Amino acid sequence: MESSVKASAAPDGVRPRGGRRRGFGTLLAVDLWERFSFYGMAAILVLYLTASPGHGGMGMAPQQATAVFAGYMSLSFVAGLPGGWLADRVLGARRAILAGGALIASGHAVLALPSAVALYAGLLLIVAGTGLVKPSLAAMVAEVGDERGGPEGAGPERGGLERAGSERGGGREAAFSLFYLCIQVSALIAPVVTGLLAERVAWHLGFAAAAIGMTAGLVQFSLGLRRFGEVGRRPVRPLGRAEARRAVRRTLTVLAAVAVVGGAAAAAGVLDVTGVLACLGLLTLGLPLVYLRSLRSLPQVRGALGRFTVLMAASACFWMIFAQSGSALGLFAERHTDREIFGFEVPASWFQSVHPLFVLLVAPLFTRLWRRAGPRAGVPVKFSAALAAAGVGFLLMAVAALLAQRGTVGPYWLLLVYLCYSCGEISLAPAGLALAAEVAPPGWTSRFLALNGLFGAVGVVAGGQLYRLTTVLSLPLYFLLLGGGVLSVGLLVGRNAHRLVPGRES
């Protein structure tokens, strides 16, 4: 992993310090806190939903709880599309991060209130805030980490996948890799802190800790704004008055339609959590395809859009497996894993801290591996390796679930699975972010990064809905089918990697 970025042609106000651009540390700090709130809440949400009311939980069935978790996760990704549009066209990246961070902190504070209304209101606030923060923050990382510097779009005119793998693209992937590695510190600490508070003291204290973390991130970002000069200060392609009026009309029309349909469903008595989650799932699955179709009119990406779509669809398969760490694996840790060590019962949520710890450990190895492989380790190869690792992880879970039918199993099974997850994530996630940033034409960066997240949401929704199959399939068979399917997709991507290599015609 390249830990430094060349100093040439730095954007105004973003000058190198110790081989890295100023401002990168500020972006890293705010994302550390945002990820603390995210991972901390994700570690305890399903456990809280399935806990009995007598123990302070919501008493949901596991299938419904995992569906709620998947709905929340997918909406967080889906919200990145309107959030990215607002950042690109209305707010600018800085104001989008500030507004989004405030919404996230408020959402976690609401979740700290013990009521069902607070649960869904808090989740919606977090979703709206995450939709603003994530694409905007990633867009600023892409700009600060761009080796050639300058404002977005100031580099070469060529676009699409032809830029991926170039010096500019390599600088961005190095920045995203370093960024992705460092935020694992939050992913490591957050489940320990929130899990201990939630499972040993009170569930809502865990949510309160996440709120404090996000507030700290906002303070850090506000204090560091002067480091960025003009980066992210204004929208890249601000809306004109006529465009703004059309956008307002369309937004009001959509909101009115949703209100009418929702009101009619409520009046008919068919509006329940299951129905809402089903609608959200359909929206999540269909939105990326609709949005990709609208992008065909952009001449800068037309030639690369097909290959980009194939790779994004493959990434959705990885996230389908990965996202079940907070649901299927969390429940397996709680119900089928021997968690007692020297008389102390390890909280089930703590197992999710193992994954970021492994990421920190394996990242240097994979950095050296990809560096030695050179051009042979393109994006398709990295995606193929990630899918294979995720598939093997679920095959191991099939064996563990089979053994668990005779009693609890040792924790080493989950440790092996999280090791596979870590190898896959460090291979796929930074490469996917850098690819989306490179494919994006000038003024579209936040939205293309949000599109990368949308395919992650497709995987999350699919995984959440597939977990319902455990009502008719045994747990070993469920893990076996999903692991084998994702492994097959990984092998297929690897076999056709030469057709998907950036810059080549398919």
What are the sequence ranges of the domains in the chain? 17-236+272-500
- In whole angstroms, what is the distance from residue 87 CA to residue 448 CA? 12
Residue-wise pLDDT for 80-95, tens only, equals 888 888 888 888 888 8
**Structure tokens given for 373:** 């492989």
- In whole angstroms, what is the distance from residue 231 CA to residue 22 CA? 12
Give the residue, 254 or 128, on which the prediction is more confident. Answer: 128
Element (H, E) at 293: helix 273-294
- In whole angstroms, what is the distance from residue 267 CA to residue 280 CA? 20
pLDDT computed for residue 503 by the predictor? 45
Say which DSSP state 153 is in.
T
Residue-wise pLDDT for 335-364, tens only, equals 888 888 887 778 777 777 787 788 888 888
Average pLDDT, the chain: 76
pLDDT computed for residue 7 by the predictor? 34
**Structure tokens given for 100:** 């989004």
Cα angle: 46, vertex 342, 360; to 5 degrees? 55
Which amino acid is present at 27?
A: L
Q: Which long-range contacts (CB under 8 A, 24 or more apart) does 192-198 make?
A: 192/350, 192/353, 193/40, 194/40, 194/41, 194/43, 194/44, 194/349, 195/40, 195/43, 195/44, 195/347, 195/348, 195/349, 195/350, 195/352, 196/347, 196/350, 198/44, 198/47, 198/48, 198/349
Give the residue, 193 or 486, on which the prediction is more confident. Answer: 486
pLDDT computed for residue 269 by the predictor? 64
CATH of 17-236+272-500, picked from 2.40.30.40, 3.30.300.30, 1.20.1250.20, 3.20.20.450, is 1.20.1250.20
Distance set, CA 194 to CA 38, 112, 157, 232 (Å): 11, 12, 47, 32
Nearest by Cα to 314 from 80, 505, 73, 490: 490
**Among 122-136, 194-208, 389-403, 473-487, which stretch is predicted with the lowest mean pLDDT?**
194-208
Give the residue, 122 or 176, on which the prediction is more confident. Answer: 122
Residue-wise pLDDT for 416-475, tens only, equals 998 998 899 888 888 888 788 777 777 777 778 778 878 887 887 787 778 778 888 888
Q: Is the pLDDT of residue 307 over 60?
A: yes
Say if CB 42 and CB 421 are below 8 A apart: no
Percentage of the chain exceeding pLDDT 90:
9
Alpha helices in 112-240 (DSSP H): 116-144, 167-182, 184-200, 203-223
Q: How confident is the model at residue 394 (pLDDT cuts 50, 70, 90)?
A: very high
